[in-house]
Amino acid sequence: MGAYINRSNRNFKNARESKIYVDKTGLLEYTNAVLDTEQRFICNSRPRRFGKTMAASMISAYYAKGCDSRELFEGLEIAKSDSFEKHLNRYDVIYLDMAEIRSENKNFKETIHSIHKNVIEELNERYPNILKEEDRLLPAALFKVYEKTGSRFIVVIDEWDDVFRQEKYNTGAHKAYLEFLRALFKNDRSRECIKLAYMTGILPVKKYSNESMLNNFTEFTMVRPSRLAEYVGFTEAEVIGLCRKYRMNFEEMKHWYDGYCLGKELHVYNPQAVIEAIHCREIENYWTGTSEYDKLQAYINMNFDGLKDMVVQMFAGGRCKVNVDRFKNDLVSIKRKDDVLTILIHLGYLAYDKNTKEAYIPNEEVRSVYYDAIEDNGWTPVIEAVQASDRLLRATWEKDADAVARGIEQVHMANTSILSYNNENALSCVITLAYYNAVNEYTLIREMPAGKGYADIVFLPRKCSDKPALVVELKYDKTPESAMEQIKERQYPEALKEYRGKMLLVGINYDKESKTHDCVIEGWEKA
C-alpha cells in the first residue's frame, strides 16, 4: 500500500464497521458504466458534512489493486451488479487529498511540486526501470508508464477545491493548480492513460468567462445533481429505516434535516446531522460549530441589490428567485446577490428548486444557524419579531383577534424596510416570521392543497403537541371576514383528512390605505 497509489482501504473499512452505515455503493455502478468513456471525468461537489470523503474512500477501496476489499462490499448494492467482479481491485488508483497535501507544504508551489515528486516516486516502486531522473512531471510520467506497460490509472481527488476556499485571493495558485489539472486530464497524451477521474469538493469547477478549463468533466452539483442525486445525502426512505431501527422520531428528523429536494420527489437529508442525532439521541443543530459558519455571517452582510431583504424573506419561510448560471465557481468573483445565493446553495445553507429556479432555507437546523447569524449581525427587528412570536401564538390560542392583529402589525412595522407588502405572498412572509416559534408545536405548510383550493398557511400540530390546528387565510386590501368565508366555502378544514381534533380558523387582512391589519378567529372541531 502506498501513500498516494493504491492506499489502504482502512477509511472505507472504518465506515463499514461503524454503528450507522448507509449503503451508497450504487454510485460505483455508475462509475463502472462510464469507465473508458468520454464521461469518465467526474466532478461531484456537495456541502461539507455530506459524505464527500467517504465516497472518495469507497471508490478507492473498490478499484485499488492489492486492497482485497471483497468482504467490505459483500451484501451491498454493488455486489449484486454484473459489473462488480469485473472491476473489483483491478486498477492502480492515485488518491490525492488536497487539503492534507496543502497543509503539509509551506505554499502552493511546494504543494504542486510535492504531488509530482511523491507520486512519481511511488510509480518508480511499482514500475521500476521505466522512468528516468528527468521525468519530473506527473502527466508525462503516467503516459510513459502507460506506453511501456499498457497500465491505465484511476485518479481520485478529494477536496479538489481546497485552494480556492483556503487561499481564495491567491489567483496565482488557482491558475497553477488548474494548469496542473488540465495537463493531467485534458492533455491528449495524459488523458489517454486515465481510466476514470473522480473529483469531490464543495465548489463546481472554476470558470473563466463562461467556460471551464476542465470542460471535459461531467459535473454533479447542488443545483444540478442529475443522476447522482440519491448519493448526495440520505434519502427519505433511508432516514425512515434508520429512525425505525434506532427508535427515533422521524417527524422531528424530517423537520430538522430534510429540505434539499434534488428532483421532483427525491428528498435528501444532511447525513452527518442524522448520524449525530442518532448517536447523541438528541435532535438539534449540529451545524454551527463547523468552519463554514463564519462565512455565512460574512455573506449575508453583503447587501447586494437588497440581499438582506431576501435573506429575511427566506428566514420567514419565503423563496427567492436566483440565477445560478452566472456564478464563476469561486469565492471572490462576487458581484451580485445571485452570486452570494449560489455560494450559499453550494455550501448547503440554502436549497435550490430547479423547477422554479428559487432558493430557500431547507430545514430547521439551517434556519437556527441563520437565527444565530442574524442575531450576531444585529438585525434587531427580526430578532424581536422572533422573540415576540410566543406571545402571538398564545393570543391565537386564546382567540384574541385584536392582540393577533396588533402583534402582526408590530412585526410588519418593525421590518417595513425588509418585508414590504405588495401582495398576499409578502403578507405570508410577515405572518410566518411573526409565528416563527410555532415550529416547536407545529409543522407549517404554505399553500397547502385543501378542499376546493389552497389554504395560505396551515399549522398542523406535531404528534407530541396537544394544541389545535390552525388554518390561516390571508387577504390584501379586502376584509378578514372575506378570508373566513373563503376558508368555509372552499372547505379547507374538511381537507385535513389525517387530523382529528380542535381547529382554529384565522382570517387576516391588510388594508393598504390605513396600513393596518384586522383579524377574526373562530373555533372549529373536526369530527
Residues forming beta bridges with residue 442, ordered by sequence position:
461
Q: Say if residue 463's pLDDT is above 90.
A: no
Contact residues for 172 (Cβ-Cβ < 8 A; gap 6+) = 108
Band of residue 288 on the pLDDT scale cut at 50, 70, 90: low
Band of residue 62 on the pLDDT scale cut at 50, 70, 90: very high
**Mean pLDDT (whole number) for 318-345:** 86
**Mean pLDDT (whole number) for 128-150:** 93
Please give the pLDDT value at position 241.
96
| CA 35 to chain CA mean position, Å | 28
Band of residue 55 on the pLDDT scale cut at 50, 70, 90: very high
Q: Packing angle between helix 108-126 and helix 171-185, nearest 10 degrees?
A: 20
**Mean pLDDT (whole number) for 288-315:** 74
Q: Amino acid identity of 86?
A: K
Give the class (CATH, top level) of 10-220. Answer: alpha beta
Q: Say if residue 32's pLDDT is above 70.
A: yes
Contact residues for 94 (Cβ-Cβ < 8 A; gap 6+) = 4, 5, 119, 153, 154, 155, 156
Q: Say if residue 130's pLDDT is above 80.
A: yes
Q: Say if residue 418's pLDDT is above 60.
A: no
Please give the pLDDT value at position 424.
61
In the CATH scheme, what architecture does the domain 380-525 have? 3-Layer(aba) Sandwich (3.40)
Please give the pLDDT value at position 415.
66
Please give the pLDDT value at position 24.
96
Buried b (16+ CB within 10 A) or exposed e, 263-302: eeeebbbbbbbbbbbbeeeebebbbeebebeebbeebbee
* CA quadruple 520, 386, 297, 225: dihedral sign: negative
What is the rounded (10 degree) CA torsion for 16, 33, 234, 55?
Answer: 50
Strand-strand pairing, 234-235 and 267-269? antiparallel
Residue written as grid cell 451488479: 81
In Å, what is the CA distance from 427 to each residue of 60, 237, 313, 409, 485? 52, 35, 11, 11, 19
For 515: left if phi > 0, alpha if psi spans -120 to 50, otherwise beta; the answer is left
Q: How far apart, in whole angstroms, are the C-alpha atoms of residue 494 and residue 350?
A: 34
Please give the pLDDT value at position 42.
96
What are phi and psi for residue 491, nearest 5 degrees? Answer: 55, 40
Q: Say if residue 102's pLDDT is above 60.
A: yes
Band of residue 514 on the pLDDT scale cut at 50, 70, 90: confident
Q: Are the beta carbons of 509 and 482 closer than 8 angstroms?
A: yes
- DSSP class of residue 377? T
Q: In terms of Cα–Cα distance, which of 371, 481, 479, 475 is closest to 431?
A: 475
Grid cell digits, residue 343: 455560494
pLDDT (tens digit, 9 = 90+) per residue, 74-88? 999 999 999 999 999
Per-chain mean pLDDT for the chain: 87
Q: How far apart, in whole angstroms, are the C-alpha atoms of residue 377 and residue 385?
A: 15
- 61-65, 310-314, 378-382, 430-434: range with lowest mean pLDDT: 378-382
Q: Say if residue 279's pLDDT is above 90.
A: yes
What are phi and psi for residue 156, nearest 5 degrees? Answer: -115, 125
Band of residue 107 on the pLDDT scale cut at 50, 70, 90: confident
The more confidently predicted of residues 482 and 263 is 482
What are phi and psi for residue 231, nearest 5 degrees? Answer: -100, 5
Band of residue 247 on the pLDDT scale cut at 50, 70, 90: very high
pLDDT (tens digit, 9 = 90+) per residue, 351-393? 999 889 999 999 999 998 888 888 887 788 888 888 888 899 9
Band of residue 452 on the pLDDT scale cut at 50, 70, 90: low
The more confidently predicted of residues 466 and 170 is 170
Q: What is the pTM of this model?
A: 0.88
The more confidently predicted of residues 511 and 151 is 151
Please give the pLDDT value at position 527.
59
pLDDT (tens digit, 9 = 90+) per residue, 187-243? 888 889 999 999 999 988 876 555 567 888 999 999 999 989 999 899 999 999 999
Q: Say if residue 337's pLDDT is above 60.
A: yes
User: pLDDT > 90: what percent of the chain?
Assistant: 52
Q: Where are the domains of the chain?
A: 10-220, 231-280, 293-376, 380-525
- DSSP class of residue 226? G
Q: Say if residue 451's pLDDT is above 70.
A: no
Q: Amino acid identity of 153?
A: F
Q: Say if residue 443's pLDDT is above 70.
A: yes
**Mean pLDDT (whole number) for 477-484:** 92
Q: Which ranges of 36-137 does DSSP label H, i.e. alpha helix?
A: 52-63, 70-73, 84-87, 98-103, 108-126
pLDDT (tens digit, 9 = 90+) per residue, 114-129? 999 999 999 999 999 9
The more confidently predicted of residues 214 and 414 is 214
